[in-house]
Structure 1
Amino acid sequence: MERTIVVGLGRSGIGAAKLLASQGHQVSLIERGDSPEFAGIAAALKADGIDVQLGVPLELASFRPWTGSIRCVVISPGIPWDHSTLVALRGEGVPVIGEMAVAWHALREIPWVGITGTNGKTTVTHLLNHVLQSAGLNAPMGGNMGVSAAEMALLISSAPSMSPDWLVMELSSYQIEAAADISPRIGLWTTLTPDHLERHGSLEAYRAIKRGLLERSELAIFNADDPDLRQQRRSWKGGLWVSAEGPNPDGQPADLWIDANGMVQDASGPMFSASALSMPGDHNRQNLLMVTAAARAIGLSSQQIETGLKSFPGVPHRLEALSAVGDVTVFNDSKATNYDAAEVALRAMPSTTVVLAGGQTKQGDSRGWLQQLHNKACSVVLFGAGAQELKTLISASRFQGELHCCDDLSKAVPLALEAAKRLGAACMLLSPACASFDQYPDFEARGDHFKQLVEQHREMAA
């Protein structure tokens, strides 16, 4: 009997295994770890009829017990697409797909909005979900954050009478790479800057993955203010282009823009003020336009969109304003896992700032981030595995402010608050410019820990 092999006992792997089993497939899940925590999860899955094998590495030999009967191998986004074992399996004719592909086949009858980009995609996903839901549509969000796509498919299959009108899905390059047949009804591309190059090898390869998603979308929506997307524009036929810079970004007409009076408009005239969205920063004006274009394509009126924008509470861990500590306004931007995202956050700071950065460093162009540190930061507190590397980088840029290094956030937060008080900084910003995996399972856990620490210090200062 044919069997599907799922690799990895993380959120995506568990969701994929459960979804496949619910569809009647014979499923085995392999996981290289064998901790007590994994043992507890494995026991629960075995009770659902899923074969789980712990302590099994991702090696070709691990698949030999199922030789000749493997229907396909399903991987989580964290496993490199070009892993030698996966390459060997494909060479033997075994199909290898990602968890997102499994979910797509289960959910493809529902129209998708697929949102991708180096930065901005999480904000756009949350904002579009909120605007659609506030207009009365059932449009759950998931994918690269929150509920995994496979988990969403399970939830929907358990309540078919509540089938969504739309699915708002954030899609990372890792997920798109392993699910080449996803074809959204609407595709949005927010930005493109160098990221994940250690995984994809080159900017060209990274760009091609995201481009494939937009090429397969019935309607493609682009941010015309992004330099890389602007350079690509002449190679695209059709699509909608939005610009916070005006009606003719870089001499090419926009389909939706913000005019000199701050009004969102298209060729038919003004619709509403861009101030309907209260989130700071020029990048959020671009996000507003992306969401407006998608919501109009779905059928919402200008008034419905404006109402949704005005009631948007913001995105957790993305320039999330926390309670002030004394006179210092605190922002949690744990979602900024690369230099470009951290640069955007610094640009949005209204005044002199103490910055907390660090974690697992990534490849990328740090020049814009370093320039914003010079412009906005009076002190930088570095923490985690990348602290010394970042200190060397910042020092080499001749940064004139204070530089501190420490082991973790527990030590970084009081250092930063003391520096803010001593230097008269108006803001304190956690914007790591690094991945979280040196000390946390994800950026959400890092941001939650930061919020706990800030709240403790706020209570002590009260």
Structure 2
Amino acid sequence: MIPVQGFEGATVAVLGLGRSGLAAARALRAGGAQVVVWDDTPRARAAAEADGFEVRELNRESAFDDVACLVTSPGIPHLYPAPNPATAAALKAGVPVDNDIGLFFRSFGADFDRFERPPRVVAVTGSNGKSTTSALIHHILTASVRSSQLAGNIGRGVLDIDPPEDGGVVVLELSSYQTELARALTPDVAVFTNLSPDHLDRHGGLGGYFAAKRRLFAEGGPDRCVIGVDEVEGQFLAGQMAEGRADDRVIRVATHKLTGPGWMVFARKGFLSEWRKGRQIASVDLRDVAGLPGAHNHQNACAAWAACRSLGLGPREIEAGLRSFAGLPHRSQRIAEQGGVIFVNDSKATNVDSALKALLAFDRIRWVCGGLMKEGGLAALEPGLNHVAKAYVIGREPEGFALQLGGVEAELCGTMDQAVARAAEDAQPGDVVLLAPAAASFDQYDNFEKRGEDFVANVQKVLAKG
């Protein structure tokens, strides 16, 4: 645990008692704060009360008369589309609002005088690939016998990690919900993977969404910035953070060749290249790295490479880490192969951009897709549809989804078991049965993990039948 500093003897309110909320409440208590908590769920309130916390309904302005700060969980809106009533009450009462990420950064360096080599923090944000990039950085560090902890949106709660070791690294995956609200953001290395439309209602549009990501860099003042420049927003951010073209405090990352005097890492036709001061420093063939299939994962590899180089690792040990990386569940996860047919679980492809990247990673696809469509429709999938032999559409309203798939042959399956069974029946050697829904899971599942687990279970059931 990382005890929260700066609130000794003060009353702090915690809103939302999921994983991050409970960890924040305990870390605040460990730092000497008086903690009051609230959650809309009676079971969560009862569990917190049993843990010794005072439960206080926070929907009234008067509830904040003695409160120094409100700490909210990531899923609770504080501005758009409308503030949560408790957050609105805090704002009206003039009480500062923060989250566990802000508490972490204000507390993490409290006792660094005892270290010979201070610990460092790598923070990764972006629309797609941030989980894989974060996990890959952590894996490379661990494989290179460096002390590393993985936290934030992946791994452990950020305040629930162990006190860092001398020279240790904490790798954080941060969503826009977290970077937008955190009052302190001071990573040593900040990584921006890419940007595509997502969570637009929460951020008041694409500009607000990008602004939330940008705070990690503009507010945080990292020593090194690793920035994906495939989109104009990344190019803009890199330009804002660099003093000039040769400023190697910024490492530009792309899925196409980059030129110039600066520091850059790019992947082109499956080959990763690192260039600095106009010279190639290293090159790696990624085409046979099983845990990182497709151009989108090659972009993740470039970002992880750049972050690890910033931490002082050499090309050979980073390459060894890339090759031993097995991938993450539900993210281009190769789960089985039988009769020349490969089965891949990419349930995390919840938006059109991530699904398109999954489609472009394989040549002939039996595509399991569908669910709760997001704003904007499916038109942006068009460049990948020629990779699809047939679509097998799930979800409560598969008809509407299938109508947006252009000329792709589509079968309305509705349920995962029927979609997997039909795709496996139709598949020929060389085909890939791919779950990349291009939609949220909430019409049929609690989350994308449950959807992916259902896909895996049904693949195993089909393969067991022979």
Q: TM-score, normalised by structure 2?
A: 0.85
Residue 433 of structure 1, CA deviation: 1.3
Aligned partners of 2:306 and 2:442: how far apart in 1?
Answer: 35
Which residue is 2:132 aligned to? 123
From 440, 453, 459, give the equivalent of 1:454. 459
Identity among equivalent positions (%) equals 32
Does residue 287 (structure 1) correspond to residue 293 (structure 2)? The answer is no
Tell me the CA shift for residue 446 of structure 1: 2.1
User: Does residue 284 of structure 2 align to residue 273 of structure 1?
Assistant: yes
SS in 1 for 2:366: strand
- The aligned residue for residue 440 of structure 2 is 435
1:370 to 371, 382, 402: 382
Is residue 2:217 matched to residue 1:218? no
Q: Which residue of 1 aligns with 2:210?
A: 207
Aligned equivalents of 1:258, 1:99: Cα separation in 2: 35
Tell me how far 1:102 sits from its aligned partner.
2.3
Match of 2:368?
356
Cα-to-partner distance string for 1:76-121 (whole Å, 9 max, x where unaligned) = 1111121432234213211111222223333245421110111111
CA contact (8 A) 1:98 1:179 kept: yes
8 Å CA contact retained: 2:377, 2:404: no
Cα 1:386/1:207, change in 2 over 3 Å: farther
Query: 1:167 matched to which residue of 2?
Result: 170
After TM superposition, the structure 1 stretch with the greater mean CA deviation from structure 2, 174-183 or 271-280, is 271-280
- Post-superposition shift, 1:146? 2.6
Aligned partners of 1:42 and 1:91: how far apart in 2? 24
Match of 2:94 in 1: 93
Contact kept in structure 2, 1:194 and 1:365, CA below 8 Å: no
> Corresponding residue for 1:409?
416
Instruction: State whether residues 10 and 34 of structure 2, in contact with CA within 8 Å, keep that contact through their aligned partners in structure 1.
Output: yes
Contact 1:259 1:265 in 2 (8 A): no
Alignment-mate amino acid for residue 53 of structure 2:
I
- Whether the aligned pair in 2 keeps the contact of 1:114 and 1:188 (CA below 8 Å) is yes
**CA contact 1:240–1:255 (8 Å) conserved in 2:** yes
Q: Deviations over 1:117-171 (max 9, x none)?
A: 111111111111111111111111121123221222xxx14xx6x4671111011
CA distance in 2, matches of 1:67, 1:181: 22
> What is the distance in 2 between the residues matched to 1:98 and 1:386?
37
Moved more, 430-439 or 292-301: 430-439
Residue of structure 1 aligned with 2:189, choices 176, 186, 191: 186
Q: Distance in 1 between matches of 2:350 and 2:11?
A: 37
Q: Is contact 2:15-2:73 (8 Å) kept?
A: yes
Whether the aligned pair in 2 keeps the contact of 1:325 and 1:457 (CA below 8 Å) is no
Match of 1:23 among 15, 28, 31: 31
The one-letter code of the counterpart of 1:97 is D
Tell me the equivalent position of 1:229: 234
DSSP-derived class of the 1:321 partner: strand
In the alignment, residue 67 of structure 2 is paired with which amino acid?
I
Measured in 2, the distance between the counterparts of 1:29 and 1:389 equals: 43
User: Counterpart in 2 of 1:389?
Assistant: 400
Amino acid in the other structure paired with 1:295: C
Which one-letter code corresponds to 2:69 in the other structure?
A: C
Specify the SS of the correspondent of 2:298.
helix
* Paired AA for residue 438 in structure 1: D
Shift of 1:254: 5.5
CA contact (8 A) 2:441 2:451 kept: yes
Counterpart residue type for residue 451 of structure 2? R
Instruction: Kindly state the Cα deviation for residue 325 of structure 1 after the two structures are TM-superposed.
Output: 4.5
Residue of 300, 303, 315 corresponding to 1:302? 315
Q: Match for residue 240 of structure 1?
A: 251
Task: Label 1:75 to 1:67 Cα distance change in 2 as closer, same or farther (>3 A).
Answer: closer
For the residue of structure 2 that corresponds to 1:441, the secondary structure is: coil
Instruction: Give the superposition deviation at 1:320.
Output: 0.4
Query: Helix, strand or coil: the match of 2:465?
Result: helix
Superposed displacement of residue 365, structure 1: 6.0
| Cα pair 1:244 1:282 within 8 Å, conserved | yes
Range 229-238 or range 409-418, more displaced: 229-238
The whole-number CA distance in structure 2 between the counterparts of 1:389 and 1:180 is 42
Match of 1:141 among 129, 150, 160: 150
Tell me what 2:70 maps to: 73
Which residue type is aligned with residue 22 of structure 1?
Answer: A
Question: Quick check: 83-92 or 325-334, which moved more?
Answer: 83-92
The alignment's TM-score, normalised by the length of structure 1, stands at: 0.86
Do the aligned residues in 2 keep the contact of 1:359 with 1:385 (CA within 8 Å)? yes
SS of the aligned residue for 2:196 comes to coil
Closer, same or farther in 2 for the Cα pair 1:389/1:16, shift >3 Å? farther
Q: Distance in 2 between matches of 1:115 and 1:415?
A: 38
Q: What CA distance in whole angstroms lies between the structure 2 residues aligned with 1:77 and 1:16?
A: 12
The structure-2 alpha-carbon separation of the partners of 1:405 and 1:371, relative to structure 1 and needing over 3 Å to count, comes to: farther
Shift of residue 189, structure 1, vs aligned partner: 0.6
- After TM superposition, give the deviation of residue 392 of structure 1 in Å: 3.2
Alpha carbons 2:272, 2:298 under 8 Å: kept: no
1:337 aligns with: 350
Deviation at 1:414, TM superposition (A): 1.9
CA contact (8 A) 1:140 1:164 kept: no
